[in-house]
Amino acid sequence: MSKIKDSGFGEHLREPAGFRYKFLDSSAILFGCGTSTSGERATTATADKNFATFYTQSTATSGTSRGIYWRHYIGGAAEGETARFFTVVATAGVPGGVHGAHISAELDDTATSQVTGLMCGVRATWGALAATRTVTGTICALQVDTNIDTGNTVPASHAFIRVSNNGTVAFTNLFDIPTSTVTRKGSAPSASNGLAIRLDGALAYIMVGT
């Protein structure tokens, strides 16, 4: 029989075999399991286990559906995110396949399964509702960071962005950029035929040709 554990909020978590539940620091965490301290984490030594799993399906013929919808409002001066995923390698000899997050969108193995419009593996959107204002700050739809402390030497095979065709059928286009305010269209590589970028805070262009 699975054990039942009481949380600090009077709710219950079922503890399956091989899963160890630890009470939370209620001063920092509203609900969940474990802490970042070694020995205080939810753990398992059994291979191929997911700590949280949801399999859902919608058969609606109109509208939208989402497996998870989470909207977080920041009403004070604090920074934050709606979701923060953090993977830490804490042992030697991990062969690879380690990701902070892995997000996929795919068609199943039914030949009639198709999308007639846009389908993305990942979509990042920066938005602003209608208002009379001049937007401040440094804004972007996507930021790619590194955070490497002193003493580390990175390998030659490093990059901010890496692309890879992992299946048997390959993508052949690196970018799909419609003519818009981010491009200057011309007939040859020149200032009138390029992609607009910010270089050290100044407007510049990556020259392209056909």
pLDDT digits (tens, 9 = 90+) for 59-97: 999 999 999 999 999 999 999 999 999 999 999 999 989
The residues near 133 (Cβ < 8 Å, ≥ 6 apart) are none
CA atoms within 13 A on the CB side of 93: 0
- 115/108 Cα distance (integer angstroms): 11
Planar angle of CA 23, 18, 37, nearest 5 degrees? 40
Q: What is the mean pLDDT of residues 121-145?
A: 97
Highest mean pLDDT among 27-31, 75-79, 187-191: 75-79
Q: What is the pLDDT of residue 208?
A: 81
Q: Determine the length of the chain.
A: 210
Q: What is the pTM of this model?
A: 0.79
CB atoms within 10 A of CB 194: 19
Would you say 59 and 38 are in contact if contact means Cβ atoms under 8 Å apart?
Answer: no
> Which one is predicted more confidently, 69 or 9?
69
CB atoms within 10 A of CB 33: 20
% of the chain exceeding 70 in pLDDT: 79
